[in-house]
A = this chain, B = another copy of it.
């Protein structure tokens, strides 16, 4: 039979931490093995708690949640970390995910969804709040009204891959001079005059 999902909570606000603790502790199949108010206090003992899932806040005194992720992963390589925070800034979300968070929920998330998400991460899923999912999906989307032509976009992509003019020419079966010409036109359209700036503008406007 399945044993309870072991959960640790790291959250500096007492009220919130106790709230989650109560919610999870009183749900069939779940168990709160420990809860801490900071990364520092958790670091000392969490290796013994051996939780399956950590609910982690971002804003905390001492080490913040983002920086705590890799450290916690080092202490518990197989743990799943679920971020539970009020922050919805793109930067924080992507940093958290890049650092190894398995999911990202905002604090307005209904209890049922939190409980479900804990189970979901434990099973290898990647739960997100609706608004987070929206931002994440948006981050993939290309700008639909690019000023660049198809060929120019194609070449800009290669530039972003670090290819030299001659490498691009070979790959697209066109002359070196043609690549040159396209890049010049790209520069004019994007109002830049270097590869680095072209790449930056391309990324900012999601042209690639």
Q: Which residues of A contact B (CB under 8 A)?
A: 70, 73, 94, 97-103, 120, 124-128, 130-131, 133-138, 140-142, 144, 159-164, 167, 194-196, 198-200
Shortest C-beta distance, A163 to chain B (Å), equals 5
Determine the chain B residues whose CB is within 8 A of the CB of A199 once the complex forms: 161-162
A126 touches B120 (CB 8 A): no
| Chain B residues in 8 Å Cβ range of A138 | 126
CB<8 Å pairs between A and B, sample of 13: A97-B137, A97-B141, A98-B142, A100-B144, A125-B130, A126-B130, A126-B134, A126-B135, A126-B136, A126-B138, A136-B137, A136-B140, A162-B194
Asked if B134 contacts A99 (CB within 8 A), the reply is no
Closest CB-CB distance, A10 to chain B, in whole Å? 19
Knowing A125-B130, A133-B133, the reply to whether A196 touches B140 (Cβ < 8 A) is no
Could you say which residues of chain B place their CB within 8 Å of the CB of A159? 162
- The answer to whether B120 touches A130 (Cβ under 8 A) is yes
Report which residue of A103, A144, A194 has the largest number of chain B beta carbons within 10 angstroms of its beta carbon.
Answer: A144
**Are A137 and B102 in contact, CB atoms less than 8 angstroms apart?**
yes
CB contact under 8 A between A196 and B133, given known A70-B144, A97-B141, A98-B141:
no
> Contacting A161 at CB < 8 Å: which of B70, B127, B200?
B200
Closest to A96 in B: B140
Residues of B within 8 A of A200 (CB): 161-162
What chain B residues lie within 8 Å of A128 (beta carbons)?
A: 128, 133, 137
Q: How far is the CA of A20 from the CA of B62 in the complex (A)?
A: 51
Q: Report A157 CB to chain B, min CB distance, Å.
A: 12
For the complex, give the distance between the alpha carbons of A142 and B100 in Å. Answer: 7
Residues of chain B within 8 A (CB-CB) of A102 are: 137
Which of A99, A131, A137, A161 has the largest count of B CB atoms less than 10 A from its CB? A137
